[in-house]
């Protein structure tokens, strides 16, 4: 089955700087890669996603890149703000039954 790894596990940045979170996946048949943000006491919230037929996608300060050959995908947050502080999860969807496998998460702290 699919296995998703995520680095770093914790990340601290100054407000206004960029943050990058990297993930790898194992199943070359996976075709959908969502990113979720989870704040304390809340469920994960989808912030951006990318499908395997696209190399990059951007939404305001957030961008995601996908390298299918290397089975890598990354989240880039520019001009970070304190409200970006949360745990971020990358995920990959297995093609069987559309099951989504999550990475272990990155705790992002944006220091004002």
Partner 1 sequence: DTGVSQNPRHKITKRGQNVTFRCDPISEHNRLYWYRQTLGQGPEFLTYFQNEAQLEKSRLLSDRFSAERPKGSFSTLEIQRTEQGDSAMYLCASSPDRGYDKNIQYFGAGTRLSVL
CA distances from 12 to 27, 54, 59 (A): 30, 29, 22
Nearer to partner 1 (CB atom), residue 78 or residue 107: 107
Interface positions, 21-50, toward partner 1 (CB under 8 A): 32, 34, 36, 41-46, 49
Binding-site size for partner 1 (CB under 8 A) equals 25
Write out the DSSP string of 29-73. Answer: T--EEEEEEE-TTS--EEEEEEETT-SEEEETTEEEEEETTTTEE
Q: Which of residues 77 and 91 has its CB atom nearest to partner 1 in the complex?
A: 91
Q: Which residues bind partner 1 (CB under 8 A)?
A: 4, 6, 32, 34, 36, 41-46, 49, 89, 91, 93, 96-105
């Amino acid at each position: 089955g699919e296995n998703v790894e995520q680095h770093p596990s914790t990340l601290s940045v100054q407000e206004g700087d960029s943050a990058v979170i990297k993930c790898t996946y194992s199943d070359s048949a996976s075709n959908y890669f969502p990113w979720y943000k989870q704040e304390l006491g809340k469920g994960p919230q989808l912030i951006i996603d990318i499908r395997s037929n696209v190399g990059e996608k951007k939404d305001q300060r957030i961008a995601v890149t996908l390298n299918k050959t290397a089975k890598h995908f990354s989240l880039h947050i520019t001009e970070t703000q304190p409200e970006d502080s949360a745990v971020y999860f990358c995920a990959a969807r297995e093609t069987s039954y559309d099951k989504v496998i999550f990475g272990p998460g990155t705790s992002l702290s944006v220091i004002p």
